[in-house]
Structure 1
Amino acid sequence: MGALTLPTGIGYTAMIAAYARAQEAKQDNPLFVDPLADLFVAAATGLVPGTNLPRLGPIRIDDESLLWDFLSALFCGRTPFFDAHIKQHVGAGIRQIVILAAGLDTRAFRMNLPATTTVYEIDTPEVLDFKAAVLADEQPTATRVAVPADLREDWAGALTAAGFRPNVRTLWLVEGLLMYFDAAAADNLLATISSLSLPANGLLTETIIRKPVMQDVPEIVGSEDEAVTRLFMEAFRTPPYRNVGDWMSSQRWRCDEAVTLAEQLTRVNRPIPEIVRRCAADPFGTVLASSVKLQD
């Protein structure tokens, strides 16, 4: 297919993440099934949901792409980690979940959350409008509240105005976001979350160990994947700390679990992408973490 024209306001990474989830559902032994991911892909490509997925940027069905090996492993490998922790927190009684930069996340629909659970999805109006149109005929199992807000502005005020209660135990999900924040912005985001959190609140995060550079992926340079690679490299920022536990403790959170993408993929019996293997000596990869708010 030709160049993809995305719906207004929908980011490239959000769409290829949905694409990866749609592909995962077609595996013989999928790590999870997101039955709605196909709908987003169809809305962006014009295909009928359930038909063969088209080629999309670095995505390949018919040949090899080191970049797509990495992106699909990232987008699908991290999902079981966060899903398991969400189930654990809900099982422990948490009934308020906030997803920052929710994008095309469908956990309120696909995870069979209790009806007494409220899921707040924060994202830009354009993303939430597109999502609402695509999912107009779908029903979440939990109460889903869309919160139109820019994370660079007063998103906490918008969240509270939408019904969020800071005095109720909450699980925060910050997935696919912090790698695009510089240290100051990441610190500010964590401080805002902390100001809205009770002790024993949960926080699930995805961070990077260091900012990647083009030299990490020399075989991609010069190929048709180069433009997409540079898109990611230029968007990523230097993380606040190389150790996510240190960062969490700086604002009174205790990191109970932190695993690299490679460790997570090994857990779920999936191959480690060549890009991750190549950078093993000085990794830039994702760290998935679960933390708990401490007493101030």
Structure 2
Amino acid sequence: MNPTSLDGIGETAVVVAALRALESARPDHLFLDPYAERFVEAVAGDGYWEKAPSGWAGFAEVLAGQVAVRTRYLDEALLRASAEGCGQVVLLASGMDARAYRLDWPAGTRVYEIDFAEVLAFKAGVLKGAEPLCEHVQVPADLRTDWPGALREAGFSPERPTAWLAEGMLYALPPEAADVLLDRVSRLSAPGSVLAADHAPDSPVLRESRAALSPDLVDLWLGGPRQDLGGWLRGRGWTAEVREVNEVAAQYGRPAPPAFDPARDGSGPGWLFTARLTC
């Protein structure tokens, strides 16, 4: 598997899809994503595991556990928010996310996916013939531009409670961009809206695993929010439950993911959170 063959179509998104495919193949899987393997096959062709670069095994060892725990946690957060009245769901920088197709959404849920036009086109081609389990709207937009306007034009209503997903992206934003993202999400959210996300500072273990897989991934971490997550969210009206990745892993019967295992030299902290807009 050569992730750099994507020609800009979400390199990291397909790498994460490969990790979701590995988890889905486990007999004790924390979630089931029957579409993840399609994305990897579309990039690398048949026998893609045999083509994997030398750094893939080490990368998967370090990150697969975290992606499994993160995916399960965020699946549950979105479904819970939808069941509690968030009839709109927005997947920010959705990449190869197939939640519109694989989760059992409440009737009437509308899922918006925002990403670059070429990413969404690639995804639509791979998923051709599959049926979404909700009202599904793709919104081609660059998160550095006026994506709120594009979202409104696609039918989104800021007056209705919304469940937002920011998966695998906060750490890839400079602090100022993270602030802008949360400000925009907050302005578009009615009281009762929910934001679910993950975050982790960089660490030697993460950097080494990324470098071994692809030099293009080394500079992926740009910092994200400057404040602690609770304070960052609280300052914009959100009440958050922030949990350590290790704690959530234990809840699911899994060991601490290596990159976040305090017993491993060079590891660091990692968090998952669900926040609700209270005003």
> TM-score, normalized by length of structure 2?
0.91
Asked if structure 2 preserves the Cα contact closer than 8 Å seen for 1:118 and 1:145, the reply is: yes
Asked whether the 8 Å contact 2:260–2:270 carries over to 1, the reply is: no
Partners of 1:292 and 1:19 in 2: CA distance: 31
The question of 1:272 aligning with 2:271 is answered: no
Q: Which amino acid aligns with 2:180?
A: N
Q: How many residues align?
A: 278
Q: Determine the structure 2 residue equivalent to 1:126.
A: 118
CA contact (8 A) 2:24 2:31 kept: yes
SS at structure 2 position matched to 1:203: strand
Match of 2:196 in 1: 204
Say which structure is richer in helix: 2
For residues 232-251 of structure 1, what are the structure 2 equivalents within 5 Å? Answer: 232-251=217-236
Separation in structure 2 between the aligned mates of residue 185 and residue 219 of structure 1, nearest angstrom: 22
Q: Distance in 2 between matches of 1:43 and 1:219?
A: 27
* Partner residue, 2:105: 113
Classify the secondary structure of the residue corresponding to 2:137. strand
Matched residues in 2 for 1:219 and 1:125: separation? 29
| In structure 1, distance between residues paired with 2:206 and 2:49 | 28
The Cα shift of 1:127 comes to 0.3
Contact kept, 8 Å, 2:211 with 2:218, in 1: the verdict is no
Are the equivalent residues in 2 in contact too, given 1:5–1:44 (CA < 8 A)? no
- Equivalents in 2 of 1:80, 1:279: separation in Å? 24
Shift of 1:29: 0.9
Corresponding residue to 1:286 among 270, 273, 276: 270
CA positional deviation for 1:281: 9.0
User: Shift of residue 227 of structure 1?
Assistant: 4.2
Q: Partner of 1:59 in structure 2?
A: 56
Aligned with 2:250: secondary structure?
helix
- Structure 1 length as normaliser, TM-score? 0.86
CA distance in 2, matches of 1:229, 1:286: 22
Q: Secondary structure at the match of 2:243?
A: strand
- Quick one: distance in 1 between partners of 2:242 and 2:258? 22
Residue of structure 1 equivalent to 2:12: 13
What is the match of residue 217 of structure 1?
205
Q: Gapped runs of 5+ residues in structure 2?
A: none
- State how far apart, in whole Å, the 2-side matches of 1:165 and 1:246 are: 27
Give 1:1-296 correspondences, 5 Å limit.
3-4=2-3, 6-47=5-46, 53-57=49-53, 58-60=55-57, 65=58, 67-208=59-200, 210-212=201-203, 216-217=204-205, 220=208, 226-228=211-213, 231-255=216-240, 257-278=241-262, 284-295=268-279
SS in 1 for 2:52: coil
Verify the 8 A CA contact 2:258 2:264 in the aligned structure 1: no
How far has the Cα of 1:273 moved from its partner?
3.4
Q: Secondary structure at the match of 2:155?
A: coil
Query: How many angstroms does 1:282 deviate by?
Result: 8.6
The one-letter code sitting in structure 2 at the alignment partner of 1:92 is E
Query: Which amino acid is 2:143 matched to?
Result: L
**CA shift at 1:284, angstroms?**
3.5
